[in-house]
C-alpha cells in the first residue's frame, strides 16, 4: 500500500503546473542541505576533542548531557518555523477500501524521512564513536545512549507535528505551550529549578543504566500515538469535531469605501484573511516575529555587523508582506476564473493587495519602534527597512506573483493543510532580505552607516513614487499569463 502512496506523491509532484518552480527550489534547498550536513558532521567529529581540551576535568559526555535540553528546544523552535509537515490529499482516498490507519501511519512515518532528522545523527554518531574509542565506557551502554539521543530527536519531530497542528487549529491551545515554555525558561534563568541539570543527571544515569533508554522510547511511542489519534479524529472532509459549522458573521467594512475604487477588493482581502485559517495564521506569525529583535539586539555578538540588522528590520516590518505576498494571487485561486471573467481592472486588484501589505508594513514598523531602547540607529534602520519594503519589496512580490500557478485550497479541511509553512517560504523571501543588506553593507563600507540608511530609504521612496507605474506594468504581466494561471489553479494539489 505504501508503494502506491509514494507513487501518487511522485506523480503529484512531477505533473503539477508549478513543477519548474518546485524543482528550482528543491535544487537550492539541496545546496543548503549539503552545507548543513557538512557543518553538522564537522561539529560531530570535533565535539569530543574540543570538550576534552576545554574542560579537562569533566567527561565530555556529561557536558553534552547537560546541554541536550537546550539543543532539543532550539531544534523544536527551528523545526516549528522551517520543517514542512508531510501532507496528503485524502479526499480521493476516503471512500476507497483503504484503512484510515494505513494512510495516517504513512504520513507519520514519512515525516521520519525529513532531513531535519538526519542532522542530529551526524553529531550523535561521531560523538558516540569517540566516546567508545577514548572514553572508557562499556560499548553497549554508549550504543544505548546514542539510541536514546536519537529517540529524543524523534520525539521533537512528533512534538513539532502536534504543536504545529494546534497552532493551525486554535491559537488558544497553542498559547498553553508558549506559557509552559516561558515558565521553564524562567525557572531555569532564575535558578529555581534547573531543568538542564535535571535532564543532565537523568542522561548521565542513562549512560550507566542502558535499560533506562526504554523511557524515551516509551515517550516516543506515546507521542506517536497522540499524533495518530489526532489525525484519525480529523480524518474527515469537514471539521465537525472541532468547530461546529461556523456561523457567518457579517462585518461592516463600509469604512473601506474611503479608499475609493479598490474598496471592494480590500473588503474581499480582509474577509479572506479573517475567515480562513491559513491566511489568519500569517497575522499571528507577524506578531510573534516582532520579538525577533529582542533576540538579536540583546546579543553583543551582532554589534559590529549592522548589515545584519537590516535583515532583521526587513523581516520584522515585512513578515506579513512576505508571508501573504508570496502567495498572490494564489489566495484567490479557488475563484480566479470568475475574477477573470468579471469586469475587474487588474490594476485595482493588485493595488488593493499592495495597499494591504503597505498597511501591514506601516503597522509593524510602528509596533517595532520601542526597539529605540537599543539605540536610535536601530530605529533608523528599521524605518529605512520599512520604507524599502514599501517601495521595493512589495512591487517585487507582486511581480513574482504573476508567475504563481500553485493553487491554494482555502476550503480544504484543515487536515494537513500546511502549504507554505516550511523552509521554502523563507528561501523565496531570502533575496528580498539579502539584497538590501548587501546595499547597506556596500554603502556603509564605502561611506558610513548613516549614508547607508539614507540610501535604503531613498530606494524605498523612489519605489513608492513609481508605485503607480510599476503596478500598471505588473498588471500587464498578469494579463499575459492569465491562461497559464487559470489552468494551474484548476489543478487540485496537496
Q: Does 283 bind other proteins (CB under 8 A)?
A: no
Least distance to other proteins, CB of residue 248, Å? 5
Least distance to other proteins, CB of residue 404, Å? 17
Cell of 74: 532550539
Nearer to other proteins, 211 or 248 (CB): 248
Contact 402, 481 (CB under 8 A): yes
Q: Does 244 bind other proteins (CB under 8 A)?
A: no
Nearer to other proteins, 194 or 482 (CB): 482
Pick one of 12, 25, 98, 263: the residue that binds other proteins (CB under 8 A).
263
Q: Does 192 bind other proteins (CB under 8 A)?
A: no
Nearer to other proteins, 20 or 260 (CB): 260
**DSSP 8-state secondary structure symbol assigned to residue 213:** G
Q: Does 232 bind other proteins (CB under 8 A)?
A: no
Nearer to other proteins, 21 or 277 (CB): 277
Least distance to other proteins, CB of residue 320, Å? 19
Q: Does 242 bind other proteins (CB under 8 A)?
A: no
Whether residue 373 is preceded by a cis peptide bond, meaning omega within 30 degrees of 0, is no
Least distance to other proteins, CB of residue 7, Å? 23
- Of the CA atoms within 13 Å of residue 472, those in its CB half-sphere come to 4
Least distance to other proteins, CB of residue 45, Å? 53
Nearer to other proteins, 273 or 452 (CB): 273
Q: Does 247 bind other proteins (CB under 8 A)?
A: yes
The dihedral over CA atoms of 80, 84, 88, 91, expressed in degrees to the nearest 10, equals 60
Calpha distance 47→111 (Å, rounded):
28
Q: Does 487 bind other proteins (CB under 8 A)?
A: yes
Calpha distance 478→67 (Å, rounded):
52
Nearer to other proteins, 22 or 334 (CB): 334
Calpha distance 107→88 (Å, rounded):
7
**DSSP 8-state secondary structure symbol assigned to residue 251:** -
Least distance to other proteins, CB of residue 422, Å? 24
Q: Which long-range contacts (CB under 8 A, 24 or more apart) does 155-159 make?
A: 155/216, 155/219, 155/220, 155/223, 156/72, 156/75, 156/76, 156/79, 157/79, 157/111, 157/112, 157/114, 157/116, 157/117, 158/108, 158/111, 158/220, 158/223, 158/224, 158/226, 158/227, 159/76, 159/223
- The interface with other proteins within residues 402-441 (CB under 8 A) comprises 410-411
- The interface with other proteins within residues 324-363 (CB under 8 A) comprises 334-338, 340-344
- The interface with other proteins within residues 17-76 (CB under 8 A) comprises none
Least distance to other proteins, CB of residue 419, Å? 17
> Taking Cα atoms as reference points, which of 315, 304, 311, 301 lies closest to residue 445?
304
Calpha distance 62→50 (Å, rounded):
14
Interacting stretch for other proteins, rule CB under 8 A, among 83-91, 270-278, 455-463, 468-476? 270-278
**DSSP 8-state secondary structure symbol assigned to residue 392:** I
Calpha distance 69→224 (Å, rounded):
20
Least distance to other proteins, CB of residue 137, Å? 60
Contact 295, 321 (CB under 8 A): no
Nearer to other proteins, 166 or 275 (CB): 275
Nearer to other proteins, 94 or 178 (CB): 94
Distance of CA 485 to the CA centre of its chain: 26
Q: Does 483 bind other proteins (CB under 8 A)?
A: yes
Interacting stretch for other proteins, rule CB under 8 A, among 25-33, 40-48, 86-94, 242-250? 242-250
Least distance to other proteins, CB of residue 386, Å? 30
Least distance to other proteins, CB of residue 264, Å? 4
Nearer to other proteins, 126 or 488 (CB): 488
Q: What DSSP string describes 4-24?
A: HHHHHHHHHHHTSTTHHHHHH
C-alpha angle 163-363-444 in degrees, rounded to nearest 5: 100
Pick one of 16, 18, 234, 267: the residue that binds other proteins (CB under 8 A).
267
Pick one of 245, 252, 258, 446: the residue that binds other proteins (CB under 8 A).
245
Q: Does 129 bind other proteins (CB under 8 A)?
A: no
Least distance to other proteins, CB of residue 478, Å? 12
Nearer to other proteins, 339 or 363 (CB): 339
Calpha distance 376→292 (Å, rounded):
18
Which residues have C-beta within 8 Å of that of residue 87, sequence separation ≥ 6?
107, 416, 417, 418, 419, 494
Nearer to other proteins, 135 or 264 (CB): 264
* Cα distances (angstroms) measured from residue 482 to each of 113, 165, 341, 378, 398: 37, 34, 11, 42, 14
Pick one of 45, 272, 288, 363: the residue that binds other proteins (CB under 8 A).
272
What residues make contact with other proteins under the rule CB under 8 A?
A: 245-250, 263-264, 267-268, 271-272, 275-276, 334-338, 340-344, 410-411, 482-483, 486-487, 490
Amino acid at each position: 500500500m505504501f508503494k502506491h502512496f509514494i507513487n501518487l506523491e511522485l506523480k503529484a509532484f512531477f505533473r503539477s503546473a508549478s513543477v519548474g518552480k518546485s524543482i528550482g527550489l528543491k535544487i537550492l534547498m539541496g545546496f543548503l542541505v549539503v552545507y548543513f550536513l557538512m557543518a553538522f558532521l564537522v561539529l560531530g567529529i570535533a565535539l569530543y576533542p574540543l570538550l576534552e581540551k576545554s574542560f579537562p576535568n569533566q567527561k565530555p559526555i556529561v557536558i553534552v548531557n547537560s546541554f541536550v535540553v537546550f539543543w532539543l528546544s532550539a531544534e523544536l523552535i527551528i523545526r516549528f518555523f522551517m520543517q514542512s509537515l508531510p501532507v496528503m490529499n485524502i479526499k480521493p482516498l476516503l471512500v476507497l477500501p483503504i484503512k484510515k490507519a494505513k494512510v495516517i501511519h504513512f504520513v507519520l512515518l514519512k515525516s521520519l524521512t525529513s532531513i531535519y532528522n538526519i542532522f542530529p545523527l551526524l553529531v550523535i554518531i561521531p560523538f558516540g564513536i569517540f566516546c567508545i574509542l577514548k572514553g572508557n565506557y562499556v560499548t553497549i551502554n554508549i550504543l544505548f545512549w546514542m539510541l536514546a539521543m536519537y529517540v529524543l530527536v524523534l520525539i521533537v519531530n512528533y512534538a513539532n507535528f502536534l504543536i504545529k497542528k494546534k497552532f493551525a487549529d486554535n491559537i488558544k491551545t497553542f498559547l498553553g505551550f508558549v506559557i509552559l515554555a516561558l515558565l521553564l525558561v524562567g525557572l531555569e534563568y532564575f535558578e529555581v529549578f534547573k531543568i538542564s541539570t535535571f535532564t543532565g543527571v537523568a542522561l548521565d544515569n542513562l549512560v550507566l543504566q542502558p535499560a533506562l533508554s526504554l523511557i524515551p522510547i516509551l515517550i516516543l511511542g506515546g507521542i506517536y500515538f497522540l499524533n495518530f489519534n489526532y489525525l484519525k479524529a480529523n480524518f474527515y472532509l469537514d471539521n465537525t469535531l472541532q468547530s461546529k459549522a461556523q456561523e457567518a458573521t457579517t462585518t461592516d467594512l463600509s469604512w473601506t469605501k474611503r479608499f475609493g475604487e479598490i474598496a471592494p477588493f480590500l473588503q474581499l482581502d480582509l474577509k479572506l484573511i479573517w475567515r480562513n485559517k491559513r491566511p489568519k495564521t500569517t497575522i499571528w506569525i507577524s506578531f510573534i516575529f516582532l520579538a525577533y529583535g529582542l533576540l538579536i539586539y540583546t546579543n553583543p555578538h551582532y554589534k559590529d555587523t549592522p548589515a545584519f540588522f537590516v535583515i532583521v528590520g526587513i523581516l520584522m516590518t515585512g513578515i506579513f508582506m512576505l508571508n501573504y505576498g508570496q502567495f498572490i494571487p494564489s489566495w484567490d485561486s479557488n475563484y480566479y476564473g470568475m475574477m477573470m471573467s468579471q469586469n475587474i481592472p487588474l490594476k485595482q486588484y493588485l493595488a488593493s493587495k499592495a495597499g494591504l501589505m503597505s498597511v501591514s508594513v506601516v503597522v509593524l514598523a510602528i509596533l517595532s519602534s520601542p526597539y529605540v531602547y537599543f539605540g536610535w540607529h536601530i530605529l533608523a534602520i528599521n524605518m529605512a527597512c520599512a520604507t524599502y519594503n514599501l517601495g521595493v519589496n512589495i512591487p517585487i512580490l507582486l511581480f513574482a506573483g504573476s508567475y504563481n500557478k500553485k493553487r491554494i485550497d482555502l476550503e480544504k479541511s484543515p487536515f494537513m493543510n500546511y502549504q507554505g509553512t516550511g523552509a521554502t517560504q523563507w528561501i523565496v523571501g531570502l533575496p528580498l532580505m539579502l539584497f538590501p543588506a548587501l546595499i547597506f553593507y556596500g554603502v556603509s563600507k564605502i561611506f558610513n552607516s548613516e549614508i547607508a540608511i539614507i540610501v535604503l530609504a531613498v530606494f524605498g521612496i523612489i519605489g513608492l513614487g513609481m508605485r503607480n507605474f510599476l503596478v500598471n506594468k505588473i498588471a500587464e504581466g498578469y494579463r499575459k499569463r492569465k491562461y497559464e494561471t487559470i489552468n494551474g489553479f484548476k489543478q487540485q494539489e496537496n
